[in-house]
Chain A
Amino acid sequence: MVWLNAIVQGVLLGGLYALLAAGLSLMFGVMRIVNLAHGALAILAAYVGLVVVEATGVSPFLAMAVVVPIMAGVGYALQWGIFNRALAQGGLAPLLAAFGLSVVITQLLQAKFTADSRSLPTGDLATASIQINGDLSIGVLPLITFVVGVLAILGLQAFISKAPLGRAMRAASDDPDTVKLMGIDNRQVYALSTAIAIGMVGVAGMFLGIRGNFDPYYGQAMLIFAFEAVIIGGLGSLWGTLIGGMVLGVAQSLGSQFNPSYGILIGHLVFLAILAFRPTGLLPKAVTT
């Protein structure tokens, strides 16, 4: 029963990792940008949330209604201001730009908020849980995080397969030059993709801040988990990212059950094992070009 509990907690944790990784997966899928600033942007969202909560006194959940549009706007501006220019340079430029961006965000956060740990207050909710039976209880907050993560990925997947903009995103991913011949400005499609990706990481960042303490450097660790979720699931597949997040969450949770200090290590080992034995991930994208 202890192990079942660990698995359930791990799956729930996986929802958060998937939420964190979805934007990373989207930006890589559409533009082949490896956004090293993803973790820093998640933490930026948590700090923006903190400012909103402290200024207005609303709950962090309500604050998301402000934080997510702000982050989406940040994503849109970053794409036009930095990434579209970097993509035009080609090669390593987008990767280096993202790396630089992550350093700048982290340092700005430290200058403004110091390196002290902060958290987003949620009152009773932080400790509330649903008792299933004697050994198994599910925290309300991890459950909400998980549901939001799954819904966000379902929604994004539906958007990409059905909506005209989603179709344009897939077409731009296939062939950015030919997309221009369809009357579509690929740079604008990229900017909207990044707005969606960073809006989603805004949600993830808020949940990170609600779940526990964060400081300006916390994004680095989260970036690794997000990358692992994407790679475990298979590059460019959103379903894979969801599965990858859960695999990573369960591995960490079972590892902690084994020995509390081994959780993160076991997560990394599972990731390395998948890289070694199934490098395309669990659900590789059906079509590769």
Chain B
Amino acid sequence: MTFLSVTGLDVHYGDFQAIYSLDLTIAEGETLAVIGANGAGKSTLLKAIAGLVPVTAGDIEFDGASIAHIAPHKRVAHGIALTPEGRKIFPSLTVEENLLVGGHTKRPGPWNLASVYAAFPLVADRKDRLGTNLSGGEQQAAAIGRALMSNPRLLLLDEVSLGLAPVVVEQIYAALPTITGHGTTVLVVEQDVKQSMKVADRVQCLLEGRTVLEGDPADLSREQIATAYFGI
């Protein structure tokens, strides 16, 4: 039984098809990076797993049961959390309130306010600030902390590094070993190939809604990845 298995997935936005018959599997405890250029369907894939976009064909199985057609808020109770693209921190709530909303389901587990603050000192320093008054990096760290507050078994990270200074990206990725150390499975979507190769056990590259390359980062050459990434 695989932990997460996506089979033959199709996703449409109206008449536009974003994902074509995509297959993807993750074992429990693994860190998978999905890479690809803008518009490759990476974010759509995460949204489909989290339930924010409807699945038009295929199936998504989590822990042996199909979740393809259940409401997004119920998937959180099953242990799936998404840190959305653009962070989507609630602007009128303080950082701490953002975290508390993240823990609304009260799923038991290692993550609580104290452990999130320990993993992200950046967030602890800003806990009384309103979400609207955070820098991009602070927002990103808070958004990951907020997702962790639901004690997910599967954490979906969308475009963590987008628009952030490299030093801030380093700081945020520094918390990843702590997260995976608790047994959390991580599916990270990145445009920053270098960063994702560093953290992932396995890489899957998408191009125009289809998988074009898959493998262990150590086995893949730069040329292979460049070809898959740009489709040339």
Contacts and interface: CB of A to CB of B under 8 A. Distances in A.
Interface in B22-66: 50-52
B73 A184 contact: yes
A185 B72 CA distance: 8
B160 to A, nearest CB: 16
A168 B132 contact: no
Contact of A177 (B52, B74, B81): B52
Interface string A162-185: 001001101101110111111111
Contacts of B92: 170, 173-174, 285-287, 289
A178 B130 contact: no
A180 B72 contact: yes
Contacts of B77: 183
A184 B74 CA distance: 8
B221 to A, nearest CB: 37
B82 A167 contact: no
> How big is chain A's contact interface, by range?
20 to 34
B102 interface: yes
Interface in B76-132: 76-77, 81-82, 84, 88, 90-93, 97-98, 100-102, 104-105, 107, 130-132
Interface residues of B, number: 31
Contact of A164 (B50, B100, B147): B100
Nearest to A165: B104
Contact of A182 (B52, B71, B74, B104): B104
Interface in A55-110: none
Nearest to A164: B104
B153 interface: no
B93 A174 contact: yes
B90 A175 contact: yes
A178 B88 contact: yes
A184 B73 CA distance: 5
Contacts of A285: 92
Contacts of A175: 88, 90
Given A167-B100, A180-B76, A181-B84, 17 more contacts: A168-B104, A171-B93, A171-B101, A177-B52, A181-B50, A181-B147, A182-B102, A183-B73, A183-B74, A183-B77, A183-B105, A184-B101, A285-B92, A287-B91, A287-B92, A289-B91, A289-B132
19 contacts: A164-B100, A164-B104, A168-B104, A170-B92, A171-B90, A173-B92, A175-B90, A178-B84, A181-B72, A182-B102, A182-B104, A182-B105, A183-B73, A184-B73, A184-B101, A184-B104, A185-B71, A285-B92, A286-B92
Interface of B: 50-52, 71-74, 76-77, 81-82, 84, 88, 90-93, 97-98, 100-102, 104-105, 107, 130-132, 146-147, 150
